Structures are given as structure tokens and as C-alpha cells.
Amino acid sequence: MKVTDSVQYIKGVGPKKKAELARLGIATVYDLLTYFPRTYEDQSVLTRIADLRPGEQQTVSGVITKLQERQGGRRGMTILTALIGDGSGFLKVTWFNQKYLKKQLIVGRRIFVTGRAAYAFGGRGQFEMSQLSSFEILTEETGEEEAAAHCGIQPVYPATERLNQKFFRKLLQEALAADIELPEVVPASVCQEYHLMPRREAFETIHFPKDFAALKAARRRLAFEELYLIQCGLMLLKKKVQQSAAGIRHAKDGELLTRVRKSLPFTLTHDQESTWQDIRGDMERDVPMRRLVQGDVGSGKTVIAMLALVKTVENGCQGALMAPTEILAEQHYESFCRQLQPFGIRISFLSGRLTKKQREAVYHEIAAHETDIVIGTHALIQDDVQFNRLGLVVTDEQHRFGVAQRTALEKKGSCVPDVLVMTATPIPRTMTLTVYGDLDVSLIRELPPGRKPIRTFVRRPDRRPLIYRYVHSQLEEGRQAYVVCPLIEMKEDSDLPSAEEIYDELRYGIFQDMACGLVHGKMRPAEKEAVMEAFYKGEIKLLVSTTVIEVGVNVPNASIMVVEHADRFGLSQLHQLRGRIGRGSYASYCILVSEGKTQQARERLTIMAETSDGFRLAEEDLRLRGPGQFFGAMQHGLPDLKIADVLKDSDILIEARRAAIASLKRREDLDFVLPVLALQYREQFQHITES
């Protein structure tokens, strides 16, 4: 049997089961083998009946001393009860509606049972177990050996109502017993160097471990294999970029750049400076730059992007800056015009909002090289945009600008432009290595001097009148405020107030003398922009919004933010939201309103109040909410990890990465890995396996 064969070939899978399995995403034998246990039950430790603890999953081995059968319930089900003794005490075990067991349950036979113990009703401290998670009766056929197997570590699968634990355990046993070809996917040299368990053994062990040490080794092997292959793919991608049509070799900084730098109203921070040196160095090599700049909100990434763009202009090239929203693109456009037009640098704006005629005019400017820097939204990488010597592409807060988009750029024109990816989403290092594994990374950790820290408070909803009275007093002093809500409109199944409701409550209530605005994701872009613009200009004082304001908006006069139902947001998201304030010279306040019903909710929000370190918050977020959320939000186009955990397996990741780097230098390893990638990760790494 091949791993690519349908699960139907495995004993016990008919058309019905096949359909059920398909709903879990299991179509092939390989899908089944990689349907890894969620956790394990340790039945290898036997508990003496006298030592049972209520509520815990435990395994007991004893002899059946008494049996009872009765009919019960309205439908007259059969209830079998056995009393089991092990010398230390007695345990009552009950089976419902399993008449067929009568033949096997015989007084004097030995039995193993695993389940949760509870005090028996009226049993004076005696324990009972019903709804066993498993049991094994020793008969002539079931010898000691099988019983011993029962006492092993049992896998627990993500089961469903129709496909239960027993089914999965049996199915995987069948699958592993069937003669499946399981070719090795990691080169022999790597297996040897990193002491990896053989692949077949790893699959057998991950499902049916002999002991925890073996389980650990099996898990390590499979996680290693997954991370190793992805690392190989990402690094091959990077290598391909570097070897493909030469990049642009920018000259050393010239006069224009020096003059622009001198015109800046501040000196760069230490981190900004070293990031700039990284970028400058990359741009001056003929290998195309692929760099990620990670810097917390407000750390000053824009100016770095500006310098890089000026550098490309100085070299006779065009530059592009791509922002995720119209308003952000427009803000960048304005500040670039202010800073750079005095130096004769020509700047254009391109977005979906322009009329067709306006757009075509900009296309023409670009193609004729009548402009130097184009700033805009996604419209920038559309096919009709023909650059005339594109030297650098900068993307700001574009998580969707993933591996695929980066590669698409390489197909635009004869020389490959440099790429700079900027993000304020603090991505833990382990994730940078997987998701952005084809990029080099620069970090800006410090904020420019003189920032007033934002003070963050967590308050219960009953304090809202007080909170909003305070907000009102701030508006009277000329400041502006954000109110952020998790929902847009009223939902029948939710008792959360929506943004619309809160907007009405505020504008007809305490803020009736102030200009209020509402902005949310369901509004048409033009409406949204109009409201944002009015807030930007100070015409709107209080802005009620959903998370649409999350990225990049810069309104220095806004100094206060209230987040309703703050527990509904992730920490990183709250951090991004909070980054909208504290951008001016005013003392800023962020008030998180939450019932704080659960311990976890309280804990999370307390962390928000304690730290403004985005990296720490991201790690807490990952720890508390798991990597799924993070990966989901990134839309990076990489395969889901089936077994490796980017947070917990950082050690394995680092080893796998080291192994991948070494493999790329060995012909025989490469010849081995390329077909594996083509088979297992065709979608993700198409362009490298094609050639």
C-alpha cells in the first residue's frame, strides 16, 4: 500500500466511514497516519483500588469477584455490574447495554479497567467506575501479552460523535499493520547526525508508544522532519531569488541621500541607524534584498523606508511603497511630499479610489518614468502597472504580502527589485524563522526619545459613566478620543453592545455637544475614508470604531482610547489598537473595559496594563491563545504545521534549520529533498521544484 492510496483500502473503512473521515480531512493513508493523537492516556501505571482518587483517569487491574445483571431505565436496558478486587479493596464497575459482555465477564477472571473513579452512591467510600475509557478481560484468547498492551500509553485522538476513540485506535492499528510504503523524507546523513528515529518506527511510536521516552523521540523526529522540509523549501526559495536575474547594485550613499538625512528634524535612534545600515548594505550588493523590519508601533519605521526609497531614486530607479489601507497610503503620501518634494523628488499616489482616467494618468507617469516614488495600496502590484526600472518595493503592515507575492515581483521585469517588508506585529523569533524564513530580519526595539508612556487601566463596566465623563473633559481640553468595540451591529444571539449601539448611546447622551463619528469594516470604503479624514482633520472629536483603526493611523491629537469588552481582543491586537494613541506630546490614557469574568481574562488584561513591550505581549498571546490565531492572522501561504509547535519546539526548529542550511550545500541531500518537496509541499514551493 502507498501513502497516497485512499483510506478505503484499510480494513474497517467502508463508504460510510470513508465519508466521515473525509469530513475530518482524512482522504489518504498518509492523512490518517498524520492524524496525530491529541494527547495520551497513561495506563501503564496501575493504581491500587485503595489508592484511587475521585475524578481522575486511572487504571486498575483486579479479579472479578461478583457479577450482577439487571434491567433498568424506561427502555429496559441491560446493566451489568462487576465487583473487582485487587487485595487492597473493591471497585464497582458498570456497563450499560453491553449484553454481549456477559459471556466474557466471568467470576475469577482477571480484568484491566481504565476510567474515572467516583464515590459509589451509598457505598461508604467505595469507588465505582462507569463509562470506562477502555478495558481488557483476560481470557484464553486474550493472553497476558495483550493485557499488557492494554496497560500501555493509549493515544487519544480528536474524535467525533460518529468516529470514536476505539474506532481510531483500531483503524490506526490496522493501518500500521498493513504493509505501507513509508519512504524516508530526510536525507540519511541528517538522520544520522541528528539521531532521528527511523521514520516507520516514529509513526508506530507516535500512535502507540511503548513508553514516554520513545514517544518523545518519535515526536521529535516527526516535528524535525516537518520543520526541516519547510526550512529547506524556504531557503531554496531564497537561494533562487539570489541566483535569478541579478538584483540592482545600488551605489554608495550620494549627495541627495546625505542632504535628505540632514533635513530630518531628528537624529535616528540606535536601532533605526543599525537597521538602516543593514538595508543600505543589502541594497549595495547585487543580490536582491529580502528584508523584514520589525519594529513596534511608533518606533519610526517610515523614515527608514523613506531613506531606502531615496537611495533607489538616487540610483535612477523607481520605488514603490505599499500600504494596507487608503488612509495610511494617503498619510504616507502627504508626509513624503512634505519631506521629499523640496529635493525635486517626484511622488505619485495610486489607489483603487482614483477614477479610471486619473489612474491611467498615473500608469503613464510610472511607465514614462515621470515619477520617482509611487505610494499606494494593493493597486500597486496589479498587472497594468508597468514600472520603468523598479528598484525597491516597500510594504508597510502587509501580512498578506506573503511568499507568493514576493515571488510574483521577481517576474516583473528583467532586474529583480529589492524588497523591504515592514511590520509592527511583533512576531516571535521562532515564527520569523518559519513564516518569514526567506527573509533577513532587522529589529527596531527602542522608541524615539521623549515619548510619554501610555497609561493603561482595566476597569469594570459599572465604571463607564465615570470613564466617559473623564473622556468628555479631555475633549473639552481639545483632545480627541477613540472608542473601540468588538461588534459592528446588533446580533440576536449576542448580549454584547455593538459599535452602532454604543455610538448612539454616546452621541445622544453625554457627548451630544461633541462631534462624533462611527467607522466600521462594513461601510463602503469611501464612507470610511470620509469619516477617518474628518477625524484626522479634527472635525470629529470622538470616533467610535471597530478594529478597522488597528493599523498605522496617525492622529497625534488623539490621546485617549476606551476599549469596550476588551477581553474579546487578543493582546497583540490590543497593543496595536493602543498604538493609535500616545503619538503626540500629550499624556495618553487607554482604558480597557471588561467584566473580567474568568481568571484568564483578568490575567491577560493585567499584562496589558503592566507592559508596553509588543514582543512580550505577542509571546504572552501565543502562550495563552495558541499559535493557531497567530498563524491564521498572517495568511502567509505556508503549510499548516501538523505536529511541530512553533513555540514549544523552538529547539527542534533551530536544529532543523541548521540541518537544512547544511543540506543545501550537499548535492546528494538536495537531490533527495527536492522530489520530497515537490510531492509534499507542491503548492507552497512550486516555483523552486519546477526547475
Nearer to Mg ion, 223 or 297 (CB): 297
d(CA 471, CA 465): 10
Nearest to 658 by CA among 278, 291, 197, 227: 227
Nearest distance, CB of residue 424 and ligand ADP, angstroms: 5
Q: Tell me if 391 sits within 8 A of 315, measured CB to CB.
A: yes
Nearest distance, CB of residue 459 and ligand ADP, angstroms: 27
d(CA 62, CA 22): 40
Q: Give the 3-state secondary structure of residue 412.
A: coil
Nearer to ligand ADP, 269 or 546 (CB): 269
Nearest distance, CB of residue 523 and Mg ion, angstroms: 23
Query: Nearest 5 degrees, angle CA 574-CA 580-CA 582?
Result: 110
Nearer to ligand ADP, 214 or 561 (CB): 561
Residue 247 interacts with which of ligand ADP, Mg ion, none, CB < 5 to 8 Å by class: none
Residue 269 interacts with which of Mg ion, ligand ADP, none, CB < 5 to 8 Å by class: ligand ADP
Nearest distance, CB of residue 309 and Mg ion, angstroms: 14
Nearer to ligand ADP, 487 or 555 (CB): 555
Residue 653 interacts with which of ligand ADP, Mg ion, none, CB < 5 to 8 Å by class: none
Beta bridge partners of 77: 72
Nearer to ligand ADP, 267 or 358 (CB): 267
Residue 288 interacts with which of Mg ion, ligand ADP, none, CB < 5 to 8 Å by class: none
Residue 266 interacts with which of Mg ion, ligand ADP, none, CB < 5 to 8 Å by class: ligand ADP
Neighbours of 515 (CB within 10 A): 16
Nearer to Mg ion, 583 or 687 (CB): 583
Q: In one letter, which amino acid is 91?
A: L
- Helix ranges (DSSP H) in 48-106: none
Nearer to ligand ADP, 299 or 573 (CB): 299
d(CA 635, CA 289): 22
d(CA 669, CA 199): 17
Nearer to ligand ADP, 158 or 556 (CB): 556
Residue 115 interacts with which of ligand ADP, Mg ion, none, CB < 5 to 8 Å by class: none
Beta bridge partners of 483: 544, 562
Query: Nearest 5 degrees, angle CA 207-CA 212-CA 215?
Result: 40
Nearer to ligand ADP, 396 or 620 (CB): 396
Parallel/antiparallel/unpaired status of strands 127-130 and 57-72: unpaired
Residue with cell 495610511: 328
Residue 402 interacts with which of Mg ion, ligand ADP, none, CB < 5 to 8 Å by class: none
Query: Which residue in the shown chain puts its C-beta closest to Mg ion?
Result: 552
Parallel/antiparallel/unpaired status of strands 110-116 and 134-137: antiparallel
Nearest to 525 by CA among 260, 262, 330: 330
Nearest distance, CB of residue 447 and Mg ion, angstroms: 13
Nearest distance, CB of residue 179 and Mg ion, angstroms: 57
Burial letters 650-675, b for 16+ CB under 10 A, else e: bebbebbbebbeebbeeeebeebbbe
Residue 391 interacts with which of ligand ADP, Mg ion, none, CB < 5 to 8 Å by class: none
Nearer to ligand ADP, 310 or 458 (CB): 310
Nearer to ligand ADP, 117 or 340 (CB): 340
Q: Tell me if 136 sits within 8 A of 150, measured CB to CB.
A: yes
Nearest distance, CB of residue 396 and ligand ADP, angstroms: 7
Residue 448 interacts with which of Mg ion, ligand ADP, none, CB < 5 to 8 Å by class: ligand ADP
Nearest distance, CB of residue 269 and ligand ADP, angstroms: 5
Nearest distance, CB of residue 393 and Mg ion, angstroms: 16
Burial letters 521-555, b for 16+ CB under 10 A, else e: eebeeeebbebbebbbeeebbbbbbbbbbbbbbbb
The grid cell for 177 is 499493520
Nearer to ligand ADP, 228 or 586 (CB): 586
Nearest distance, CB of residue 297 and Mg ion, angstroms: 7
Nearest distance, CB of residue 616 and ligand ADP, angstroms: 18
The grid cell for 667 is 548535492
Residue 643 interacts with which of Mg ion, ligand ADP, none, CB < 5 to 8 Å by class: none
- Helix ranges (DSSP H) in 515-666: 525-536, 571-578, 599-610, 614-625, 627-634, 650-663
Nearest distance, CB of residue 552 and Mg ion, angstroms: 5
Q: Tell me if 635 sits within 8 A of 648, measured CB to CB.
A: no
Binding pattern for the stretch 357-376 against Mg ion, x by CB under 5 A and - elsewhere: --------------------
d(CA 427, CA 405): 20
- The contacts of residue 266 (CB under 8 Å, 6+ apart) are 448
Interaction with Mg ion in 505-564: which residues (CB under 5 A)?
552
Nearer to ligand ADP, 553 or 673 (CB): 553
Nearest distance, CB of residue 132 and Mg ion, angstroms: 58
Nearer to ligand ADP, 555 or 656 (CB): 555
d(CA 436, CA 425): 13
- The contacts of residue 310 (CB under 8 Å, 6+ apart) are 256, 257, 260, 340, 343, 345
Query: Which residue in the shown chain puts its C-beta closest to ligand ADP?
Result: 300
Residue 272 interacts with which of Mg ion, ligand ADP, none, CB < 5 to 8 Å by class: ligand ADP
Inter-residue long-range contacts of 597-606, CB under 8 Å, 24+ positions, other chains counted? 597/567, 600/624, 601/567, 602/458, 604/567, 604/571, 605/458, 605/566, 605/567, 606/458
Nearest distance, CB of residue 398 and Mg ion, angstroms: 11
Q: In one letter, which amino acid is 157?
A: Y
Residue 300 interacts with which of Mg ion, ligand ADP, none, CB < 5 to 8 Å by class: ligand ADP
Nearer to ligand ADP, 82 or 321 (CB): 321
d(CA 491, CA 496): 8
Q: Extract the runs of DSSP E, i.e. beta strands, from 338-427.
A: 347-350, 373-376, 390-396, 418-423
Residues forming the site for ligand ADP (CB under 6 A): 266, 268-269, 272, 295, 297-303, 424, 448, 554
Nearest distance, CB of residue 394 and ligand ADP, angstroms: 11
Q: Which residues bind Mg ion (CB under 5 A)?
A: 552
